[in-house]
Structure 1
């Protein structure tokens, strides 16, 4: 049987003539941090102080012992970041130029000092640029010339931390006769029968060539085997009446162990492979219709409105991301009623632990191939790396039932059309051949069970503008960049795969990341941790439109920026959900951060939830009640994405700012499963915008929607008055706030009570006499005044 030895111990990093202890998996930055050589790049403006690390060459070393008990020994690197030469006892074994693929070297019968020399990714990028010629991109760094995590070179939410090292496991495999080189399970469902077609490729030693082998597979109690003599074989299993895997909210997520054994002619085990699979069908309906060209996920025959978030690497030093951290972050996504996670093309193909968690949580995964915001050369040496990388990762990830889409790139088809690329390219390659040729061919060959899209955004063909909202997927960025969030309501995209609004991170995150700084929107550390072009200007304009800009009051600016973020994203989702099935999904930019930064994330760089996260839980719930502004007055929308009919009574109240009810009506409504009911609000209930003293509230089944006909700064908000009561509870406290006036977007920033404290809800609007109970964990104090200092509302005291 094949023996595997992990090579994670005994490594050293050579620095300035000395040897430092090295952690594998890891990277140069993590080792230098552990040795105290560099400061934490996440704190203050340290990012600039450690920039030299990415421009240096580095060397790792250990001792490789020889095991002579097998015919073949292979040294396997699951991830070399990125430009590496591997030497054993001073002699070259081979090289690597791609962070995103596995590298394997024959070390049979050899031992001695093992050295891995890493060159600067900058140097490699410049070498390739000299060979292929210059290409445009949206950032001043050369990330498209090297197959490395693009956001290592910085992004509009991330620092420039250009890593190097063995960022994934290293091992020695010892084997004889043959091993499993590739196992591809094609899992399909036909009626009540599940099918697993195993396509297997083997590697053989010289003595094993041509010898008969047996392949045996087991799944759900079904066993099949076949004998073969060549390098490849196919084995088929049929599973009667398997339980189907469903996205969360649509059913359960049963997973079946699939075990594969390779045996020699005498029945002696040679190698084994095990994964979990799920039985389900998935397609994307891209049929033309009266509205344009659709883009609707269909799982097990059920059409789905995708409630999605975009995912970036959870740490700019990705070797630090543990399975537990993946689980926590993805559980937070599920807690926000998310059912789809798009892995963005400027990051990485994530660890299997990511996809395992998605399999179990019912989170559909949209996987970008790793191309983002740039024109990519299609010549060698990149073309061969791109194909090898795609093959590696399609084969590795295809067992996961959560994976529902392969996507060719992020914004590059759009960029070619709209970002002034065509003229400077002058006919040079820019990636189109990857997205419309190489990648769909590889997916069709290796994983024909899943749909492929050429890019995001993409209208389906060059017959339409790549970012036409009427066709395919759409990115909505004009609103954040130049307009008011109300303008999300001016169009109905078929599938909005990117849109978002920025906000600063939690106050405790800022205090940790900017120690000793007198916080202000334009303080040095705040500006350094704001990477978007005119990011603070856009934040200020968003606040100014709705509230007026608070001068000299950072705490209030911070709160209002987070309110605007939550409201902006909610405005888009409420509007687009109300137009299901014309619009079939929204994917918010973004779920997470890779460091402490002002960004579009719902979860900040320290893992704290912004108000946006709680708002996503509301607007992504199966049942959503909303008042969607429209020409002529708000539309009442009941969006029922649950599997059962929603019978409810909606109470509509037209009120004045002091809580006086001017008009009230009760509507008995019914929304069938997976449908939306839209009603024009009766004229008698429409609040009068003149004077800014009236508003509209809709309530049903504990859900609430609020509509103000004017901006908040034009509304007669009363000075907020409320009572606070604090009660002890296991591991924390329960805070009860009782309103004596209208409290608009009341928020408890629990981390102001203690850095580890969390609250179970975000923004809430209370009418006079109403109360809300907020569960706080991580704080056991009982001081109501401390709570008052952590409470904010739109109305000023």
Structure 2
């Protein structure tokens, strides 16, 4: 049987005569940080002070003992790196083993009989990129960094939400594998379901030693009580396992997520090397799989060209979020951290996570958690926002990387889509790349030829799309909302979030709105700084082009912009973010099945920063997170503003659950002081996975220019509101409410219930729990109370629960 020896201990990091203990897996920055050589780049302006790290060469060393590699019980010893970041020369006792130039794939070297000093010498990623650029020529991109010339995590060079921290290091596990006769090179399980039978085609590739060339080898596989065996012909074998009536894997909200252990063994059936030799298990492989079918319906129809996920024959409105690396130093993201973040997504009603193309192919722990939680995974190939050369040495690396990762990830039932790139087809057509390129390669051959061929060859069970956004062909603009996937960025960049309601894209793969992180996150990240929207640290932790200008304009369209009140500015920025995203999702969900999904930009952050994230860089939940929980719930009530002047708002009753919904919706036309001016009850019968739209009776429609009245809809604990004018024009009363702090029975000292009783209209009340302690949390986001209504806010982990502190942590919309 194969023997595996992890090489995680005993590494040293070297540069210019210095030697430091190194953690493997890890990276140079984390080792320097641990040793106190550099300050924490996430704090203050320190990112600038550590820029030199990414421009230096670094070397990792450790000793490799003779007994680890000497021939004996095993014929062959391989040195296996799961991830090297990025351009490296590997030597053992002065003998070069090989060179690497790709962070996103593994590497294997024969070290049989070798021993001595193992060295991994990393060149600066900037130097490697410059060398490749000199070979391929210049290509345009959206940032002044050379990330398209090196197969490395693009966002490490900085993004409009991320720091420029160009890493190097052994970022994934390294080990020795000692084996004899033969080993499993790769196992590809093609899992399908048809006519009530689950089929697993197990494709195996095998490597033999010279001595093992004549050995008769057998592959054995089992899943869910079904077994099969077959002979290895040369270096390949295929087994078929048919599982009758398998339990199907479903996205969350549609069914359960049964997973089954698929076990594969490579067996030597015995050319006797010595007397008594018999059958031996040489190598084994094990993964969990799930039985389900998945396709994307891209049929043309009266509205254009659709893009609808269909799982096990069921059409799905995808409730999605975009995922970026959860840390600028990905080796710090543990399985527990993956599970925490993805569980938060599931608890917010999310059923699809898009792994964005400027990051990494995540660790198995990410996809394992998605398998278990029922989160569909849309996986980008790693190309983003740039024209990529298609010449060598990049083309060979791209193909090897794609093959490695398709095979590595395909066992996961949560994986439902391969996507060629992020925004590069759009960029070629719409961002002035085409004339600048003047016929040079730019990546189109990858997205429209190489990658779909690799997916068709290795993983034909899953759909592929050439890019996001992509209309399906060059016959339409790549970002045409009527065809395929669409990225909606005009509202954030130039307009108001009300513009989301101007169109009904077939699938919204990106849209979002910025807000600052929690106050406790800012205080940690900007120690000693007096917080202000334009303070030095705040501006440094705002990476978007004119980010604060867009934030301020977004606030000013709805509220009087607070000029010198940071706390109020902070609250309003978070309110606008939550409202903006909700406006888009409510509108697009109400137009199902024409629109078949929304993927919010973005779920998470990789450091403390003002960004589009719902969960900030310290893991704190923004109000947007709680709003996602509302608008991504199976059942949603929404009042859609009039589509044109003189029209009435529409009531949409959205039912994405599996059960019919009889909703009795109470509508109230209400004055600013809380007086009910009119009332009616509308009954809606909503079938499963469908939407009902009802006209609001004319007598209940507030005047389109009224600053004195609004519309309220309530049903089954859900509420929707319609205000006909912007907040700054509405006659809000001065908010008055009582606050009491109660200790729940049996709770610890940091757990309290904050009970707020409204005497007036209280719009978008928010308890910022982190002001009561850095680890305090509240499970409720923005809440609007009518006079006489009460809300109970559960706070856990607070260090200050006094009445004054609690009141100071409460915010709401106030009169202009």
Give the TM-score category using the shorter length. over 0.9
Residues 242-391 of structure 1 correspond to what in structure 2 (within 5 A)?
242-266=246-270, 267-391=279-403
Q: What's 2:79 paired with? A: 75
2:104 corresponds to 1:100: yes
Asked whether the 8 Å contact 1:728–1:780 carries over to 2, the reply is no
2:196 corresponds to 1:181: no
SS of the residue 1:155 aligns to: coil
Q: Distance in 2 between matches of 1:711 and 1:370?
A: 41
Q: What's 1:556 paired with? A: 568
Q: What's 2:616 paired with? A: 604
Residues 92-491 of structure 1 correspond to what in structure 2 (within 5 A)?
92-266=96-270, 267-491=279-503
TM-score, length-scaled by structure 1: 0.99
Q: Distance in 1 between matches of 2:626 and 2:591?
A: 23
Asked whether the 8 Å contact 2:45–2:540 carries over to 1, the reply is yes
2:645 corresponds to 1:633: no
Residues 457-536 of structure 1 correspond to what in structure 2 (within 5 A)?
457-536=469-548
Q: Mean alpha-carbon deviation: is it higher for 271-280 or for 630-639?
A: 630-639
SS of the residue 1:547 aligns to: coil
Could you report, residue by residue, the CA deviation over 1:15-70 in whole angstroms, capped at 9, with x for unpaired residues?
Answer: 33121000000000000000000000000000000000000000000011234321
Q: What's 1:728 paired with? A: 743
Could you report, residue by residue, the CA deviation over 1:446-502 in whole angstroms, capped at 9, with x for unpaired residues?
Answer: 000000000000000000000000000000001100001000000000000000000
Instruction: Report the CA distance between 1:211 and its aligned residue.
Output: 1.9
Instruction: Report the CA distance between 1:780 and its aligned residue.
Output: 6.0
Asked whether the 8 Å contact 2:772–2:799 carries over to 1, the reply is no
Instruction: Report the CA distance between 1:424 and its aligned residue.
Output: 1.0
Q: What's 2:657 paired with? A: 642
Asked whether the 8 Å contact 1:253–1:361 carries over to 2, the reply is yes
2:116 corresponds to 1:91: no
SS of the residue 1:520 aligns to: coil
Q: What's 2:785 paired with? A: 766
Instruction: Report the CA distance between 1:648 and its aligned residue.
Output: 1.4
2:32 corresponds to 1:32: yes
Asked whether the 8 Å contact 2:776–2:799 carries over to 1, the reply is no
Q: What's 2:13 paired with? A: 13
Q: Distance in 1 between matches of 2:104 and 2:536?
A: 36
Q: Mean alpha-carbon deviation: is it higher for 128-137 or for 58-67?
A: 58-67
Q: What's 2:43 paired with? A: 43
Residues 685-700 of structure 1 correspond to what in structure 2 (within 5 A)?
685-700=700-715
Q: Distance in 1 between matches of 2:18 and 2:610?
A: 38
Q: Mean alpha-carbon deviation: is it higher for 682-691 or for 416-425?
A: 682-691
Instruction: Report the CA distance between 1:192 and its aligned residue.
Output: 1.2
Q: What's 2:275 paired with? A: none
Q: Distance in 1 between matches of 2:560 and 2:300?
A: 45
Which blocks of at least 5 consecutive residues in structure 2 are unaligned? 271-278
Q: Distance in 1 between matches of 2:546 and 2:165?
A: 22
Asked whether the 8 Å contact 1:728–1:782 carries over to 2, the reply is no
Q: Distance in 2 between matches of 1:369 and 1:262?
A: 31
SS of the residue 1:159 aligns to: coil
Instruction: Report the CA distance between 1:796 and its aligned residue.
Output: 4.9
Number of aligned residue pairs: 797
Q: Mean alpha-carbon deviation: is it higher for 65-74 or for 540-549?
A: 65-74
Asked whether the 8 Å contact 1:41–1:50 carries over to 2, the reply is yes
Q: Distance in 2 between matches of 1:633 and 1:751?
A: 41
Which blocks of at least 5 consecutive residues in structure 1 are unaligned? none
Asked whether the 8 Å contact 2:640–2:651 carries over to 1, the reply is yes
Instruction: Report the CA distance between 1:385 and its aligned residue.
Output: 0.1
Q: Distance in 2 between matches of 1:112 and 1:609?
A: 50
Residues 49-60 of structure 1 correspond to what in structure 2 (within 5 A)?
49-60=49-60
Could you report, residue by residue, the CA deviation over 1:289-336 in whole angstroms, capped at 9, with x for unpaired residues?
Answer: 000000000000000000000000000000100000000000010011
Q: What's 2:696 paired with? A: 681
Relative distance call for 1:407 and 1:691 in structure 2 (3 A) is: closer
Asked whether the 8 Å contact 1:480–1:500 carries over to 2, the reply is yes
SS of the residue 2:558 aligns to: helix
Asked whether the 8 Å contact 2:772–2:801 carries over to 1, the reply is no
Q: Distance in 2 between matches of 1:254 and 1:288?
A: 34
Q: Distance in 2 between matches of 1:225 and 1:733?
A: 61
Asked whether the 8 Å contact 2:136–2:389 carries over to 1, the reply is yes
Asked whether the 8 Å contact 1:479–1:487 carries over to 2, the reply is yes
Q: Mean alpha-carbon deviation: is it higher for 725-734 or for 146-155?
A: 725-734
Residues 648-687 of structure 1 correspond to what in structure 2 (within 5 A)?
648-687=663-702
Q: What's 1:4 paired with? A: 4
Q: What's 2:273 paired with? A: none
SS of the residue 2:743 aligns to: strand
Q: Distance in 2 between matches of 1:783 and 1:53?
A: 46
Asked whether the 8 Å contact 2:582–2:628 carries over to 1, the reply is yes
SS of the residue 1:165 aligns to: coil
Instruction: Report the CA distance between 1:77 and its aligned residue.
Output: 0.3
Asked whether the 8 Å contact 2:705–2:724 carries over to 1, the reply is no
Q: Distance in 2 between matches of 1:85 and 1:305?
A: 48
Instruction: Report the CA distance between 1:634 and its aligned residue.
Output: 1.3
Could you report, residue by residue, the CA deviation over 1:346-367 in whole angstroms, capped at 9, with x for unpaired residues?
Answer: 0000000000000000000000
Relative distance call for 1:518 and 1:448 in structure 2 (3 A) is: same
Asked whether the 8 Å contact 2:486–2:510 carries over to 1, the reply is yes
Asked whether the 8 Å contact 2:517–2:622 carries over to 1, the reply is yes
Q: Distance in 2 between matches of 1:788 and 1:752?
A: 10
SS of the residue 1:616 aligns to: helix
2:557 corresponds to 1:582: no
